[in-house]
């Protein structure tokens, strides 16, 4: 008898569906580094269409997608990017924009809803007359949904406003849209409209969408041309990548319609946790597929709780010394 395991560690722990495996086995492939893989070409064209951009590029990971995007926009040494102090790019991506790209991060505090105050973004933009002393601001980065604040959605109105700020100051706007489809579903806004103000967007295919590998970045044809060169420089050019793009195509086709169910179940989980006196959870904070809850009992630690849950075939992951996060995915 197979024991059922409930895995709430992350929406990255999905398994490819039978439809994905079948698509991978049947994929028509060629050498994508030479630009000849037909399945990759079709998938990239479809993602560009869905996202409302001119072109798209498959990359091995979300970290590479964000890194390639930042480097494509900040192609001059001494460039600076404005981003949230609690953003994934700043905290969880090994400082790659600085280490590999020489791009200086200038952080603005993230609010509890994942936004940055627009006036603080404006204040962080360097004045041209300070070029003798300061880096040159070239890019603003947003994250939607915002992971470290519990999967909060950035509204289309907010994103448009930041886009206006970027455009008026001659800057580019990149959206780390690892879970942008979750935001689109939760807000009831078509994904292409949600990212219209952005010059580039990275989309993770292997989180809630459930593909086994990869992300895609979208933008103008000129941006994707630069991104493709950078992908190769970083070791991300792959040959018969259509095998992976075939699974990603099925993931986008079949899973986006299931995300609302993930969100509903996350709210049910949060409601249940709130009834346990040892835990505290803000029900209003659960907007998508993430539930963060704090442990109110000083005798319980996240590590110990995870051990007890694992004994009962429930997998969870500590978020801090007093907090756990649970992430739901039906993929």
Whichever domain contains 89, its CATH number is: 3.40.640.10
In this structure, the answer to whether residues 268 and 301 fall within a common structural domain is yes
pLDDT bucket at 325, cuts 50 / 70 / 90: confident
Find residue 324's DSSP bridge partners.
293, 318
pLDDT in tens, 140-156: 999 999 999 999 999 99
For residues 82 and 59, the answer to whether their CB atoms sit within 8 Å is no
Give domain status of residue 303, yes or no: yes
Last residue of a domain, one of 221, 256, 291: 256
Whether the predicted pLDDT of 39 surpasses 70 = yes
pTM above 0.85, yes or no: yes
Predicted local confidence at residue 320, as pLDDT? 83
Q: Quote the percentage of the chain above a pLDDT of 70.
A: 98
In this structure, the answer to whether residues 286 and 174 fall within a common structural domain is no
Here the contacts of 85-91 (C-beta below 8 Å, separation 24 or greater) are 85/109, 85/110, 86/110, 86/146, 86/148, 86/149, 87/141, 87/143, 87/146, 87/148, 87/176, 88/62, 88/143, 88/147, 88/148, 88/176, 88/178, 89/141, 89/143, 89/176, 91/148
In this structure, the answer to whether residues 230 and 95 fall within a common structural domain is yes
In this structure, the answer to whether residues 272 and 209 fall within a common structural domain is no
Pick the residue with more confidence: 245 or 77?
A: 245
Residue 286 structural domain: 6-12+258-327
Rounded distance, CA 193 to CA 259, Å? 18
Rounded distance, CA 291 to CA 19, Å? 29
In this structure, the answer to whether residues 224 and 267 fall within a common structural domain is no
In this structure, the answer to whether residues 80 and 194 fall within a common structural domain is yes
For residues 107 and 84, the answer to whether their CB atoms sit within 8 Å is yes
In this structure, the answer to whether residues 202 and 322 fall within a common structural domain is no
In this structure, the answer to whether residues 207 and 94 fall within a common structural domain is yes
Last residue of a domain, one of 241, 256, 271: 256
If one counts the domains in the chain, the total is 2
Predicted local confidence at residue 329, as pLDDT? 66
Rounded distance, CA 70 to CA 76, Å? 11
Last residue of a domain, one of 218, 234, 256: 256
pLDDT bucket at 331, cuts 50 / 70 / 90: low
Predicted local confidence at residue 136, as pLDDT? 97
Give domain status of residue 1, yes or no: no
Whether the predicted pLDDT of 66 surpasses 80 = yes
In this structure, the answer to whether residues 200 and 308 fall within a common structural domain is no
pLDDT in tens, 102-120: 999 999 999 999 999 999 9
Give domain status of residue 120, yes or no: yes
Least Cα distance to 70 among 60, 59, 81, 61 occurs for 81
User: Which CATH number goes with the domain that contains 298?
Assistant: 3.90.1150.10
Task: Please give the average per-residue pLDDT across 7-14, as a whole number.
Answer: 92
In this structure, the answer to whether residues 315 and 246 fall within a common structural domain is no
pLDDT in tens, 266-284: 999 999 999 999 999 999 9
Q: Report the SS3 class of residue 222.
A: helix
In this structure, the answer to whether residues 89 and 181 fall within a common structural domain is yes
In this structure, the answer to whether residues 80 and 127 fall within a common structural domain is yes
């Amino acid at each position: 008898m197979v024991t059922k395991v409930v895995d709430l560690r992350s929406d990255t722990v999905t398994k490819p569906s039978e439809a994905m495996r079948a698509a991978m086995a049947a994929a028509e492939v060629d050498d994508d580094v030479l630009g000849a893989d037909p399945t990759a070409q079709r998938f990239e064209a479809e993602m560009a269409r869905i996202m409302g951009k001119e072109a798209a590029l498959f990359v091995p990971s979300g970290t590479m997608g964000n890194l390639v995007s930042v480097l494509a926009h900040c192609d001059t040494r001494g460039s600076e990017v404005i981003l949230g102090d609690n953003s994934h790019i700043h905290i969880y991506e090994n400082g790659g924009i600085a280490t590999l790209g020489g791009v200086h991060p200038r952080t603005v505090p993230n609010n509890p809803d994942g936004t940055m105050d627009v006036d603080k973004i404006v204040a962080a933009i360097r004045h041209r007359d300070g070029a003798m002393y300061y880096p040159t601001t070239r890019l603003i980065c947003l994250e939607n949904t915002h992971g470290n604040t519990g999967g909060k959605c950035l509204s289309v109105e907010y994103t448009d406003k930041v886009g206006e700020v970027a455009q008026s100051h001659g800057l580019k706007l990149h959206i780390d849209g690892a879970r942008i489809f979750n935001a689109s579903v939760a807000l009831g806004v078509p994904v292409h409209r949600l990212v219209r103000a952005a010059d580039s967007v990275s989309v993770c295919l292997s989180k809630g969408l459930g593909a086994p590998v990869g992300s895609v970045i979208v933008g103008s044809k000129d941006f994707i041309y630069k991104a493709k060169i950078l992908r190769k420089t970083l070791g991300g050019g792959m040959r018969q990548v259509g095998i992976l793009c075939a699974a990603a195509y099925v993931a986008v086709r079949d899973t986006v319609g299931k995300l609302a169910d993930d969100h509903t179940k996350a709210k049910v989980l949060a409601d249940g946790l709130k009834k346990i006196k040892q835990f505290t959870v803000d029900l209003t904070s659960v907007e998508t597929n993430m539930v963060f809850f704090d442990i109110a009992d000083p005798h319980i630690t996240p590590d110990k709780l995870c051990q007890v849950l694992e004994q009962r075939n429930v997998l969870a992951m500590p978020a801090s010394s007093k907090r756990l996060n649970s992430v739901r995915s039906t993929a």
